[in-house]
Chains A and B, each alone.
Chain A
């Protein structure tokens, strides 16, 4: 059965890449158009594709990619006194749950990617940004679909569907509202549990406090369905330098895939140090150096 799932995933990847291949062949002649792709513009109030664990509505430019690494150190910051904490370098000496992620722009507004965490969970995700905030739309809107599977995508699968709504409030920052449904968030058979799905309502914000420094926060309450543990929450400070975003974050859980987030944080008394580093593998439009006007 698990092999069939794996074959399905491979078939999906091939099916997803086929139109890309075809489009790429056509793109040889239209490549110069990419220079004018507005998705290559730098968006100062939405500098990255993710908040901390939740997505943003920033588009991945067509045929461009981005990489991200996530770390969540396993030592609760509240354990022991300050001396103990300093001795462990605020948790950096402890083991961590590490995530590696790559996303790619398949076509304008559509991205797909893969995220693997060190507990052997693999998540395939895709997001289509339907609306961008501009003169005709007061909000940005994306729809997302993902599926994560434990044991290197062989055992338990948790698909998710959701929407990402963003509203940029210039020149302060961007706020997000993200209703997301996660199926099979409880990894027990449905006969043994009351709820096998979770409905999340992610709320987040990124505030620009300096030209390249941001404060980020998010909380992801489970408003219906399965809700073990506590609602995962996190806050962070981040610095953007060119194509990199360096983020130090604090969270009450280790989840970075939708299934993991749906299973909640560990405790509101335990907070953990972590960091995200993202890298865009493309250069923005030269005109993008001046921020795109946002109404």
Chain B
């Protein structure tokens, strides 16, 4: 009986040490540690904010405030969802900016990753690029259905 107790205790100790070993999202998202795969978070951390790495806020150019937004895409709060989800890019025929559930075919991802076949330059233009982790979070938001959350 004593043997079972000791052995069980050792196994439990190993379990206790190793439990809940999830990765931290903030370790991936670098200069935007609070970034989450929701539109409100992406809006706050990516679209609206120039982050610590020097990456410029998207709304520096993609804004309809006093100008025509670059690419005719307004990324200001309240306008970004309608500019992105299910909307065809005027620059490239047939390319949809955000296809809910399908980040691989969402043109915004192609532009952020600088894939072959994009029209114009990789985004953000003339700025520090998004990190792989930041792009992963945007992909995840799209994968989860690109909700207006």
A binding-site residues for B, Cβ under 8 Å:
8-9, 12, 15-16, 19, 106-110, 112, 124, 126, 128, 130, 143, 145-147, 156-159, 161, 183-184, 187-192, 196
Contacts and interface: CB of A to CB of B under 8 A. Distances in A.
A16 B22 contact: no
Contacts of A184: 21-23
B21 A159 contact: yes
Contacts of A161: 15
Interface string B129-141: 0000000110010
A19 B23 contact: no
8 contacts: A9-B17, A16-B13, A106-B10, A110-B7, A112-B10, A159-B15, A188-B23, A189-B28
Interface residues of B, number: 26
Contact of A107 (B6, B13, B21, B24): B6
Given A158-B21, A189-B24, A192-B37, A16 B15 contact: no
Nearest to A109: B7
Contacts of B137: 191-192
A126 B6 contact: no
Given A12-B14, A126-B14, A189-B28, A107 B7 contact: yes
B91 to A, nearest CB: 29
Interface of B: 3-4, 6-8, 10-11, 13-15, 17-25, 27-28, 36-37, 136-137, 140
A62 to B, nearest CB: 10
A147 B14 contact: yes
Contacts of A106: 10
Contact of A145 (B3, B15, B25, B140): B15
B140 A15 contact: no
Contacts of B21: 147, 156-159, 183-184
A145 B23 contact: no
Given A109-B7, A126-B11, A147-B14, 6 more contacts: A146-B14, A147-B17, A156-B23, A161-B15, A184-B22, A187-B23
B111 to A, nearest CB: 20
B140 A192 contact: yes
